[in-house]
A = this chain, B = another copy of it.
Amino acid sequence: MVDAMKNIDVVLFSVDPVIFTLINDRIHILAVKRASEPFSGHWGLPGGRVDKSCSNLDEALGIKLLEKTGLQDVYFEQMQTYGAMDMDPRGWSVTTAYIALVNKESLQFSTASAAPEWLPVDDVISGKISMAFWHQSIVNDAFVRLKNKSLYTDLPVNLMPEKFTYAKLRAAYESILGFSVTRQSFSKRMDDANILIDTGDKQFGSNRPAPLYKRKDYGGSYYFPRELQPK
């Protein structure tokens, strides 16, 4: 137990982002191989201690994300705070977990940090890939939150590139939710929400060209009037 821990007023504190992205329409999370004890060699979330020159928590997380992903305009929201006696062998510790959503193609990893890797979220949740500290259970909670909020918000839009088709966005929803949504219902829902703009560009392929949309400039998240219904 470190020296400072003898003071009853203070605890070990860190912030940990669960960074989601889509790879081949499947959800992955960003992890780094830990270089130091405890849990050296295990996968860990790309978080850590807060830099006390930051003025607040969200700013501290923004800096962590910049360090690890090279991106500045990442969407993130606070998820939940975990605190326990036995979470870290060094003593009573607290960590505030965040959910972040990024588009993989827009990322440019900075060279400074240890090369992070994308792990399929299913493999983490099933325990096929094991993680340091309570990170497996944090990832699990984060994915449950993402699933629930995807039923009634536009959260998955944050996984899209600048321009995207309804088909791609719908695939993201379906991948997260684990059930299929009819194309017509989905289009109507998005049209009614009025949160996307038709750029006028089309995506061509071996079919009728699909319109490319981008998000409108609205602050925060959009809440749909009802939830999507499984099956």
Q: Which residues of A contact B (CB under 8 A)?
A: 2-5, 7-13, 49-50, 52, 54-57, 60, 78, 80-86, 92, 94, 96, 225-227
Contact = CB atoms under 8 A, between A and B. Distances in A.
B13 A4 contact: no
Contact of A86 (B11, B55, B80): B55
Contact of A57 (B52, B84, B225): B84
The 9 A-B residue pairs with the shortest CB-CB distance in the complex, in nearest-first order: A57-B83, A4-B7, A10-B10, A56-B84, A4-B4, A81-B81, A11-B13, A52-B92, A4-B10
B227 A227 contact: no
A208 B225 CA distance: 37
A81 B82 contact: no
A112 B84 CA distance: 26
Given A57-B84, A94-B94, A226-B226, 4 more contacts: A4-B9, A8-B49, A83-B96, A225-B226
A7 B2 contact: yes
Contact of A13 (B10, B52, B84): B10
Given A7-B2, A50-B11, A81 B84 contact: no
Contacts of A4: 4, 7, 9-10
B52 A8 contact: yes
B96 A84 contact: no
A7 B1 CA distance: 13
B85 A52 contact: yes
A5 B7 CA distance: 10
Most chain B Cβ neighbours within 10 Å, of A4, A10, A55, A82: A10
